Amino acid sequence: MSEDLDFLKEIIDEFLVDAAALSGAIDAGLAALEREPKTLAGVEEMANALYTLRMQAGFLDFDSLTAVALGMERMLDQARQGGLILGATALELLQQANQALGQMLEQLRTYDIHPLEVDELAARMQSAIDGTLEEDANATTVPAEEEELPEAKVAKIGGEPVEEEDLPRHDDVAEQEETEKSAEIAAEAVEAPLVSPPVAHEPTPAFEPELEEVEVIEGAISEDVADFIPDFLTESSEILDKLDEDLVRLEEASDDLELLNEIFRAAHTLKGTGAFLGFAQMSDLTHKMENVLDLLRKEEMQLNQGITDVILQGVDQIKILRADIENNAIVRRDMDDLRGNLLIIAETRGELLGGAPVLEEQIEQPAAEEEDAGVVISADASPPQAAPPPPPAPAARQADQVIRVDVDRIETIMNLTEELVLGRNRLLQLNDQLLTEHGEEELADRLNETTLQVDMLTGELQESVMKMRMVPVSRVFSRFPRMVRDLARDLDKQIELVVEDNDTEIDKSVADEIGDPLIHLIRNAVDHGVETPETRQQAGKEARGVVLLSAVHEGNHIVIRICDDGAGMDPEKLKQKGIEKGVLSEEDAAPMEAGDAYNLIFAPGFSTAEKVSGVSGRGVGMDVVKTNITRLSGTIDLDSTFGQGTEITIRLPLTLAIISGLQVGAGKEMFIIPLTSVIEAVRISQREIESLQGRKVIVSREKVLPLVELDKVLEIPGEANRAEIRYVVVVGLAERRVGILVDRLLRQVDVVIKALGDIVGPAEGIAGATILGDGRVCLILDVGDLIEMVDREKVQSSVVGSKITTV
Amino acid sequence: MAVENADPTESQQTWLGLGEPGPEDGQGREEIDAVQVIGLQVASEYFAINILDVDEIVPFKELEITRVPHGHFYVLGVVNLRGKVVSVIDLSTRLGLRSDLERLNRMIVVEVDGQRIGFTVDAVSDVLSLPKDAIEPPTTAEEYITGVATVDGQIMTILNLEKTLVSPAAEERTS
């Protein structure tokens, strides 16, 4: 204890040195001001000195000092802005304040830590700022009891009602000596109900906190507002997502006023609409959040992790309320703890966070809030001012350029366009036929012209309609900062998520589907990729890990990358696991390159997590991710450097529904191979087909290319083709290449993919169907499936060692 | 709902006259509590389905069906129905009844579970009005059946279309 005292004395000494100089500056400034109040001489000096003094005092928790200095600063500020005229009363007030400052500093010099009563002074300064100060040269001091400040006092310590003097005061230096005792008291204080004297101008809730009853009508939503609900749901969803994002950003940049205003506006909007639609619980909760946010943006409260947590809890609770609305079943939700916490935070300016579970963590840590949890003397004793109207949203300008369209309507236009494309195809065919048979006739010629024109227009229409469905990828990415934040905290890791979306846009249906795979991948990066701070530091890395999520256009594709600077993966370990799980044979493992080893992770049943954490690692994740990506006609690839990090690259086609394809013939049937997978098509002779380990291969570009015999793999009826000339379409997916063996190469086509549906069955190898110009249905091949089927053969043939069975 | 009986010679293969005709029978009888069904003949068995489920009935022989590899064994393939790709199931195969696929004559297109599905049968009847009290609960535990009715001495099994067409087959035989 005595060491603390010595240390404390040292601190006080240092502070006093600075304070002396600052005090001098304040004196000088004040003197100048009194001589020429109208010119505001010396105000600049004073304000600067006060600011510095306040900062230092605040740092050392000398709250009375801070309060008085703040009051003076505010008055000067108001004067500078013209809102306060420094008349006799105001000047005298400043003098009094300055004297109080002096007194406090004097006290400190003798290490006298008795509290100085500054409440009424602070109150009067506030009145001056508000413009409600009585013009009375002899400003009478109002007795503290009647002043009625929203002061938080510990009602009980150890169960006994306590006298005011016994309460640990905020500016009490002794409190800092007895840190432990304060922490104890703080712990108890948080649990004990807190009572504050009522404020005259408004019925302040007693520090129970007293929560007013919220009237809830349970059950279905009333008819009169039913029309507004869909819009409300869409709007609120967007707002809530953005709130998550913004709040996480705010933690990093808690003084970003613009950000604070936006967050405040969001809560304000939710409150307004909630109230309008009669959602009492939502409007009550958002109102309480608004109060907290208001204090933050007026800089009357400092943001910390604890406060952010409570606000985020509020956001989560609103999501629950919103879900109830979506289900058309309003339920009374127990939010008293949360509402109470929000009230306490607002009333105590963040000194107390309330009794919510989240606080228990805080109590264990020797956080600064701990020691202050005894009493707060608020600098602002006035009634809460009406919040100045939020600045007009800059988004308003953009809003003119955007209209909301029902997805169904877009769907209709899309369908019509698709049909039009089919009609156009038929028209082109007939046109060709006509030209061939009646090319000399003028009519044929004119028809041709028009047909080509229609062709071009249809193409452009298609493109425009595609664009209508494009949504910014940031919409998908917006939820990740919050997710990473929460996850990192759960795992005690420090992780920064950097998002670079480059204003990239993707098709809405892709956006809907890509979310889940991305969640899984990012969770992996956080859970398994980035190491704990200790491990990282031992490895010579910064304690804080970085996960980068980026999206960019590359030609006809969208490329999404997830990179982390974490532990990376060991190819040998992956191979080992592969063998254990039966996905890989020993012989194949040895020569396998690192790149292929990394892609083992996408095989079903594969997971290298030592234990299955609640977060990820169940062994079903990565292959499902891959399936989802493949379903979107995309590819996924993984690269890693053991010890340094991992990079996952996802490639998605820009347009979902229409693809270019290569039409091929096998037996009597025809199929279409998506052009995005096609690398090249080669003509071969039957002789070039070799057998390797029971599989058919050819040698192409000095490499062995495994073949997919389409007629075998798809069980095409009819005799096997004995023609001399065959064709191999070389296709690639990520790093893998195979050759699809067909009988005929037909033509390149642009087709609308139609999904097959589940009715037909597994239909492995088939991605979808399309309707050709002549009305026939042609199936579109799934290159990924085909490659897998070929791999399976390989595994079976080497594991089983018998003849190849097609599965 | 269009009953396409384009070719008059085919009418011999469609089976008429079983059971009570629909409400427009001219006798002015009040048909309360009756359900309108279509009768189907598959191999030597007769089935009935609610006409409200039926989108259309098309002649089967001219249809060009595209085979789908690795599909369920009872799926004949897919077909272009006015610009839409519709899956085609053979009912006799699906229900495990022997049937000569040569005898298939009609494809019934129904809407089940939000999907349009076609299935093939040998013959169809006119619309029949089935009094609800003539429908008895099924005797077997088969999911496909919602009830049995006797019409003009002929036992007709009333099908549960959802279970018949949409739910995956219990066993998967290799073709």
| Per-residue model confidence as pLDDT tens digits over A56-72 | 777 666 778 888 888 88
Give the least confident one: A484-493, A642-651, B26-35, B114-123: B26-35
Task: Give the number of other Cβ atoms within 10 Å of residue A490's Cβ.
Answer: 13
Is the pLDDT higher at A515 or at A169?
A515
| A109: pLDDT strictly greater than 70 | yes
In a domain, B173, yes or no: no
> What is the C-alpha separation between A612 and A633, in angstroms, rounded?
30
In this prediction, residues A283-287 reach a mean pLDDT of: 90
What is the predicted pLDDT for the residue at A548?
94
Residue contact A760–B68, C-beta within 8 A: yes
Chain A residue at shortest CA distance from B86: A756
Give me the mean pLDDT over the A438-451 stretch.
Answer: 83
A303: CB partners within 8 A, 6+ apart:
A250, A251, A254, A296, A350
In 3D, which of A525, A532, A528, A548 has the Cα closest to residue A493?
Answer: A532
Give the separation between CA A653 and CA A566, rounded to whole angstroms: 29
Residue A161 has pLDDT above 50, yes or no: no
Instruction: Look at A178-182, A452-456, A707-711 and tell me which has the smallest mean pLDDT.
Output: A178-182
Contact yes or no for A650/A552 (Cβ under 8 A): no
| Residue A670 pLDDT | 94
Q: Hey, which residues 659-698 in chain A have their CB within 8 Å of chain B?
A: 669
The band of A655, judged by pLDDT with boundaries at 50, 70 and 90, is: low
* Cα dist from A196 to A158, A172, A193, A370, whole Å: 18, 20, 10, 19
**Nearest-angstrom CA–CA distance, A497 and A514:** 18
Tally of CB atoms within 10 A around A696 = 18
**Residue A4: pLDDT above 80?**
no
| pLDDT tens digit sequence for A596-610 | 788 888 876 676 544
Residues of A whose CB is below 8 A from B71: 760-763
pLDDT beneath 50, residues of chain B: 1-28, 170-175
For domain A472-653, the CATH superfamily is Histidine kinase-like ATPase, C-terminal domain (3.30.565.10)
Question: Residue A450 belongs to what H/E stretch?
Answer: helix A442-468
Asked whether residue B171 is domain-assigned, the answer is: no
Predicted pLDDT of residue B60: 87
**Average pLDDT, whole number, for chain A?**
76
| pTM tops 0.80, yes or no | no
What is the domain-level CATH number for residue B88?
A: 2.40.50.180
Q: What residue has token string 């409400």?
A: B23
* pLDDT at position A222: 79
Q: In this predicted structure, what is the pLDDT of residue A189?
A: 40
CA distance A800 to A307: 61
Q: How confident is the model at residue A729 (pLDDT cuts 50, 70, 90)?
A: very high
pLDDT average, residue stretch A140-149:
36
Above pLDDT 70, what percent of chain A?
78
Topology match between the domains A2-144 and A183-372: yes
Q: What is the pLDDT of residue A411?
A: 80
**Between B67, B70, B77, which is nearest A765 by CB?**
B70
Cα–Cα distance measured from residue B30 to residue B11, given in angstroms and rounded to the nearest whole number: 29
Largest separation between any pair of C-alpha atoms in chain B = 53
What are A424-435's pLDDT values in tens digits?
Answer: 888 888 888 888
B6 inside domain: yes
> With 70 as the cut, is the pLDDT of residue A657 above it?
no
- Give chain A's end-to-end CA distance (angstroms, integer): 78
Number of domains, chain B = 1
Q: What is the DSSP string of A484-549?
A: HHHHHHHTT--EEEEEE-TT-EEEHHHHHHHHHHHHHHHHHIIIIISPPHHHHHHTTS-SSEEEEE
The CATH architecture annotation of domain A2-144 reads Up-down Bundle (1.20)
Fold exhibited by the domain A658-799: OB fold (Dihydrolipoamide Acetyltransferase, E2P) (2.40.50)
Q: Is B167 part of the contact surface with chain A (CB cutoff 8 Å)?
A: no
Strand partners for B7: none
Per-residue pLDDT for A278 more than 50?
A: yes
Contacts of residue A663, Cβ cutoff 8 Å, sequence gap at least 6: A670, A671, A672, A746, A747, A748, A749, A778
Interface mutation vs chain A, best among B68, B73, B175, most A CBs within 10 Å: B68
Residues from chain A that touch B84, judged by Cβ atoms under 8 A, are: 754
Mean pLDDT of chain B: 77
Rounded Cα distance, A142 and A150, in Å = 16
Separation of alpha carbons A526 and B56, rounded Å = 54
Return the HEC string of A297-336: HCCCCCCCHHHHHHHHHHHHHHHHHHHHHHCCCECCCCCH
Cβ contact, residue pair B69, A778, below 8 Å = no
pLDDT value at residue A400: 55
Among A83-97, A511-525, B12-26, which is the least confidently predicted range?
A: B12-26
A183-372 placed in CATH 3.30.460.80: no
Element (H, E) at A638: strand A635-641
**Would B170 be classed as within a structural domain?**
no
Residue A112 above 80 pLDDT? no
Whether A197 shows a pLDDT value over 60: the answer reads no
Q: CA-CA distance, A738 to A215, in Å (whole number)?
A: 67
CB contact under 8 A, A757 and B67: no
d(CA A163, CA A166): 5
Give the domain extent around B148. Answer: 2-165
Q: What is the pLDDT of residue A780?
A: 93
| Closest CA in chain B for residue A774 | B80
Domains of chain A by residue range: 2-144, 183-372, 407-468, 472-653, 658-799
- B172: in domain: no
Q: Is residue B138 part of a domain?
A: yes
Judged by a CB distance cut-off of 8 A, whether residue A711 touches chain B is no
A544 vs A361, higher pLDDT: A544
Q: What is the pLDDT of residues A760-782, one digit of tens each?
A: 888 888 988 988 877 789 999 98
